[in-house]
Chain A
Amino acid sequence: MLFRIFFAVCILAWGAVVSAAPLKLEINQGVIEPVPFAVPAFVPETSGAEGMAQDLAQVVAADLLGTGLFREIPQSAFVGAITSFSSPVQFSDWKVVNAQVLISGAVSIEGSNITVKFRIYDVFAGNELGSGMRFSGQVSGWRRMAHKISDAVYSRITGEAGYFDSRIVFVSESGTKSARKKSLAIMDYDGANVQYLTNDNDLVLAPRFSPTGDRILYTSYETGFPRIYLLEVNGLRKRALQDQPGTMSFAPRFSPDGQSVVYSLERNGNTDLYEMNLASGQMRQLSNAPSIETAPSYSPDGTQIVFESDRSGTQQIYVMDRAGGTPKRISFGDGRYGTPVWSPRGDMIAFTKQNKGRFHIGVMRTDGSEERLLTASFLDEGPTWSPNGRVIMFTRETQGASGVARLYSVDVSGRNLKPVPTPGGGSDPAWSPLGR
């Protein structure tokens, strides 16, 4: 019997994933059915854990379902039940409802501590996928534990890292279009646990995570002029990066080693790229042209920088060596290209494209080939990659006087476009590394 499941995602040349596990979802070209899974309520092993047992199962189900790669067999269809975490699984009960993956779990709560265990089964092979795992910690961290379970399911079935135990920092928006209020906020990737990092007194733009997820760079107008700030997520200690009088600085991004920042600095109306060492404050000018150079992003190995420039007359995307040298233009299609972001895998660049009055989020190879547009709307912009490089989140703004910005996500395949829940409006998302 064949248990291999080929799954679709139309990502060219992302190497086929090879794994010994019989149940296998190949994220590759072509479209096949999503993998059906069953997540029964976890087994409550202490009294009072019944609610949590159901909540954990629901978060895991929502994570998997949200990928578009899996299909949930609803609990109402189940003919069997998991009543004991350690008892053997009756695979026939799950085969009959067509679940190919079964996730069983157990939870115990003692005081403010929670322990969660889980196992993943390949129903048709009748065996366990990988070995069971156990997480312990504060009850308040229960959602993270559920996301870690989902990451384990995802990675054991696809052979790739997941992205569920991750966070988003973004600009939370309120107020009318002509009196917009903005503040920084952080939340789980699925919109849970929103926390505000700044008040909305000052305009803030485009936060970016450090490679370790514990610091955030962003632009604020708190002095009346745009300036870059470095914020520690825990404790919210912040400092302004050194700047020069009469200039504006914006569009910062961390280097992959977290020690430097690449950003735009405007002087006398002209915007160029600079790099600053965070420890020493030493600056290095990376571009020197009368054109606009902005929205820089490092390659994951830190040797190159992709950015946008209008040196050709319109916004286009260029790649240059971090050490210096002549930038190479990589975007040549119709329209204008901006906000390039290097994928965490290093093989692709996501961007915003404007053409014929429409905005698109797209991806291309790092040499500009194989351009594919993933979205189209009145205004889509500012892509950010999931830590595994499979999903892109971005800002979509609706048109007109009542226009509102919201966060959306889409697979790099162009499938599974959907809004990301935020309490109000939202823009400028940045995805954290996995596990942060």
Chain B
Amino acid sequence: MKISLRAALIVSAIALAACAQKDGTDMGTGSDQFGTGGFENGGISSSALDPASTEYFAQTVGDRVLFPVDQSSLTADARLILDGQVAWLQRNGSYQIVIEGHADEQGTREYNVALGARRANAVKEYLVSQGVDASRLRTVSYGKERPISVCSSETCYSQNRRAVTALRGAGS
């Protein structure tokens, strides 16, 4: 009884590790450093992400860019990510795209809606300038209404000041 409980804990610990790995940035390589043989019965499976999938876009290409406080201009890091988005969007031309602009909670509601719109538009303009068909793109702003990180300090705020390139179904 004791032993089997411990075994179950080990299995779930490894399962958690595998899950954590799934969110990592090197997914899609197909490598499996955990030697999953023997754990298949635990419901763990591993496979490379389809490079044409929305998961691949979100996790490997990177679906979001971050902004400094009260700014909507694109940083060098943001442009790198957006260049990757352009390449992917060109290869996967059937997706319609909504760019969602967001703000952190340090600001009044209406202003943050307008600020999020600026951020979304900055991304849209960059994607179009790099060749993405403007008719595939729409923007929306959620202002401070949809935080993904909920602490009230810069570690969270920096994650919330974002523009997310959301894929909305294959249009073809």
Contacts and interface: CB of A to CB of B under 8 A. Distances in A.
Interface of A: 176-178, 180, 182, 203, 205-206, 221, 224-226, 246, 248, 250-251, 264, 266, 268-271, 292, 294-295, 308, 310, 315, 338-339, 352, 354, 357, 378-379, 381-382, 397, 399-401, 403, 428
B121 A176 contact: no
Contacts of A248: 113, 117, 140-141
Contact of B121 (A180, A268, A378, A400): A268
Given A264-B114, A292-B118, A400 B109 contact: no
Nearest to B119: A269
Contacts of A269: 72, 117-118, 120-122, 124-125, 139
Interface in B77-91: none
Instruction: Return the 9 tightest CB-CB contacts between A and B, nearest first.
Output: A269-B121, A399-B152, A271-B114, A338-B108, A292-B114, A177-B150, A401-B150, A294-B110, A251-B110
B150 A382 contact: no
A180 B145 contact: yes
Interface string B112-140: 01110110111011000000000000111
B147 A339 contact: no
Contacts of B122: 269
Contact of B110 (A203, A339, A399): A339
22 contacts: A203-B145, A206-B110, A221-B142, A225-B140, A226-B140, A248-B140, A251-B110, A269-B118, A269-B120, A292-B114, A294-B113, A295-B111, A308-B108, A308-B110, A308-B111, A338-B110, A339-B110, A354-B108, A382-B109, A397-B105, A400-B151, A401-B152
Contacts, number: 103
Nearest to A351: B108
B19 interface: no
B108 A271 contact: no
A381 B107 CA distance: 9
Contacts of A382: 108-109
Nearest to A353: B108
Given A178-B148, A264-B110, 13 more contacts: A177-B147, A205-B113, A225-B140, A264-B113, A269-B120, A269-B124, A271-B117, A294-B110, A339-B108, A352-B108, A354-B108, A378-B152, A381-B108
B106 A354 contact: yes
B66 to A, nearest CB: 17
A378 B140 CA distance: 27
A203 B141 CA distance: 12
A246 B139 CA distance: 8
Q: Which of A221, A226, A354 has the most CB of B within 10 A?
A: A226
Q: Interface on chain B toward A: helix, strand, loop, or mixed SS?
A: mixed
Interface of B: 72, 98, 105-111, 113-115, 117-118, 120-122, 124-125, 138-142, 145-152
Contacts of A250: 110, 113
Contacts of A295: 108, 110-111
Contacts of B141: 226, 248, 266
Given A203-B145, A400-B152, A338 B120 contact: no
Nearest to A204: B145
Contacts of A246: 138
A397 B109 CA distance: 12
A183 B152 CA distance: 24
A292 B148 CA distance: 25
A195 to B, nearest CB: 23
Nearest to A314: B70
Contacts of A225: 138, 140
Contacts of B98: 224
B97 to A, nearest CB: 13
B171 to A, nearest CB: 16
Contacts of B151: 400-401
Contacts of B139: 269
Contact of A178 (B109, B147, B152): B147
B150 A354 contact: no
A292 B108 CA distance: 13
A353 to B, nearest CB: 10
B109 to A, nearest CB: 6
Contacts of B125: 269
B140 A205 contact: no
A248 B142 CA distance: 11
A225 B117 CA distance: 11
Nearest to B117: A266
